[in-house]
Structure 1
Amino acid sequence: MRLLVAAIGRLKQGPERDLAARYRERAAALGRGLGFAACDAIEMPESRARRASDRCAEEAGAILSHLPTNGVLLAYDERGRSDLPSERLAERVGAWRDSGRPVLVVAIGGADGLDESVRNRADLTLSFGAATLPHGLVRVLAFEQLYRSLTILAGHPYHRGDPGGQQPA
């Protein structure tokens, strides 16, 4: 399975870009031994349409163009779940891999968010909470969660988790 973070907008040079690259590289290296062929990122330009709904629709087309018919789409959106523990996310990533799905696309929308077509197509929609976060931090967090999922699947000590195991599914 290939891992792909598909994000609207470009990260400028700086600490967010560096940290996202560091987690991407870690995920790519660890993932090879776990059946993940690659961990890539693609930056798509922000739409220049006048209306927010038109911008979201145009950006949705760009995101969805990277998703094959049988690929998995994980969308980060403010309306998504914020209660899924890392262990459960790792289980889902492992199950998607084990079912032979070719790619997991992690979608990060632009300043106006994700179009309804992306949210409706998503296999899972998550949120990093109610707070509005800068785009660069969302990208860092998305790569970190991919890396964390892989460490959990590998039994690596990076993730310490809940010792009681009493987390919602």
Structure 2
Amino acid sequence: MRRTLIAVGKCRDASVKALFDEYAGRLSPRLALIEVEDKKKPPPPDLKLREGRLILDAIPTGATLIALDEKGKSLDSPAFAARIGKWQDSGVQDLVFCIGGADGLDDAVRQRADFLLSLGALTWPHMLVRVLIAEQLYRAETILSGHPYHRV
């Protein structure tokens, strides 16, 4: 199963990029990253709409979309792994996660999403969310394979 992360904005912090690359590279196949950005920066209401279109345009045809959203469902790591396992077992070929911009996701992205996932009540910097998703995908892979990385 191919896994892709679509994120609004470009990560310019070398240490955050290195940490993301560490976990993305542990996955087999590697977690792909697609960064989308509107260089024109329209006013906020239009920016959120434009970012939503960029995200939607980047999703491979037929992919299962998991949108990171504060109103989504919070899962612990074993439940997250189980959900990943169900998608994998049901033949999902492309699993795509998306992270919106500073103002969140456009409603069109939420409506397209197959699952809304929350990382909890805390607010996280968008660039660190990339690392959190990569690490949780690696953790899910190890849980599903019985590897001791995740200790209960």
Same fold (TM over 0.5): yes
Letter aligned with residue 89 of structure 1: F
Superposed CA RMSD in Å reads: 1.6
2:35 maps to 43
Q: 2:139 aligns with which of 148, 162, 168?
A: 148
Structure 1 residue 69 displacement after superposition: 4.1
Secondary structure of the 1:142 match is helix
User: Would you say the 8 A contact 1:46–1:110 is kept in 2?
Assistant: no
Unaligned runs of 5+ in 1: 32-36, 162-169
> How many aligned positions are there?
152
- Relative to the length of structure 2, the TM-score reads 0.91
Q: 1:114 aligns with which of 105, 113, 130?
A: 105
Separation of aligned partners in 1, 2:94 and 2:50? 22
User: Would you say the 8 A contact 2:24–2:30 is kept in 1?
Assistant: no
Letter aligned with residue 20 of structure 2: A
Separation of aligned partners in 2, 1:109 and 1:47? 15
Identity of aligned residues (%): 47
Q: 2:58 aligns with which of 59, 66, 76?
A: 66
Structure 1 residue 134 corresponds to structure 2 residue 125: yes
Structure 1 residue 38 displacement after superposition: 4.2
- Relative to the length of structure 1, the TM-score reads 0.82
Higher mean C-alpha deviation, range 40-49 or range 141-150: 40-49
Structure 1 residue 65 displacement after superposition: 1.7
